[in-house]
Amino acid sequence: MLREKLTNHKIILASGSPRRQAFFKELDIDFEIQVKAIDETFPSHLTRSEITDYISKLKASAFKDLKENEILITSDTLVWLNGEALGKPTDIEVAKEMLRKLSGRMHEVITSVCFTSKHFQKTLNDTTKVWFKKLSEEEIDYYIQTYRPFDKAGSYGIQEWIGYIGIEKIEGCYFNVMGLPIRIVYKILNDIATQ
């Protein structure tokens, strides 16, 4: 459906995330993947969606001279807990510490998506609240050793074992927690295609 509407556009997904790539395949649209490494450092005064908006735009800035029909999509996800941004863990100990912090508490997962073309840039974000049960050290150790969640914000994937046994409830979009509020992507691409 959307594929036919976008025949005059070239969609570029700037993400190495297997989950985001899978979402785009499931949308049944043609796209190509281009990833450019950037320094994801952000100004210390930014909070919550200001951080993810900033980084998703920063990722887009690495792409110079987009062609007339190209639409670049960049995104960023973080976990927000008690005034602290939790990104991807750098090692096992950091991953364990993150899960201990999330244990028995509510946190927010925030994802921003930036759409960039030669003529416009539009950035939207989505927030989902997630409640974890109290996790045991044994559960934390098992999850990290078995699933090695070092490419995931907050050190966990909701679609994995830890999500099955540890998440008591969520408020908001499930797919946002996986790293992409796909309904927003669909809406914006649909809007662009029908302009």
In tens, the pLDDT along 1-37 reads 888 888 899 999 999 999 999 999 999 999 999 999 9
Q: Report the pLDDT value the prediction gives residue 102, as an integer from 0 to 100.
A: 98
From the list 76, 91, 151, 191, the catalytic residue is 76
Structure tokens, 195: 């302009």
13: CATH = 3.90.950.10
**CB of 41 closer than 8 Å to CB of 66:** no
Q: Report the pLDDT value the prediction gives residue 149, as an integer from 0 to 100.
A: 95
Q: At what angle do helices 92-102 and 137-147 cross, to 10 degrees?
A: 130
Query: Which pLDDT tens digit goes with each residue over 35-90?
Result: 999 999 999 999 999 999 999 999 999 998 899 999 999 999 999 999 999 999 99
Query: Which pLDDT tens digit goes with each residue over 98-131?
Result: 999 999 999 999 999 999 999 999 999 999 999 9
Q: How many domains does the chain have?
A: 1
Mean pLDDT, residues 180-192: 95
Q: Report the pLDDT value the prediction gives residue 91, as an integer from 0 to 100.
A: 95
Q: Report the pLDDT value the prediction gives residue 5, as an integer from 0 to 100.
A: 85
Q: Report the pLDDT value the prediction gives residue 174, as an integer from 0 to 100.
A: 97
Q: Is 55 exposed, middle or buried (0-12, 13-18, 19+ CB in 10 A)?
A: buried
pTM recorded for the entire structure: 0.93
Structure tokens, 138: 């044994």
Q: Report the pLDDT value the prediction gives residue 3, as an integer from 0 to 100.
A: 83
**Residue 76: active-site member:** yes
Q: Report the pLDDT value the prediction gives residue 2, as an integer from 0 to 100.
A: 85
Q: Report the pLDDT value the prediction gives residue 194, as an integer from 0 to 100.
A: 85
Q: In terms of residue numbers, what domain contains 97?
A: 2-193
Q: At what angle do helices 182-193 and 18-26 cross, to 10 degrees?
A: 50
Q: Report the pLDDT value the prediction gives residue 56, as an integer from 0 to 100.
A: 97
Evaluate if residue 189 carries a pLDDT over 90. Answer: yes
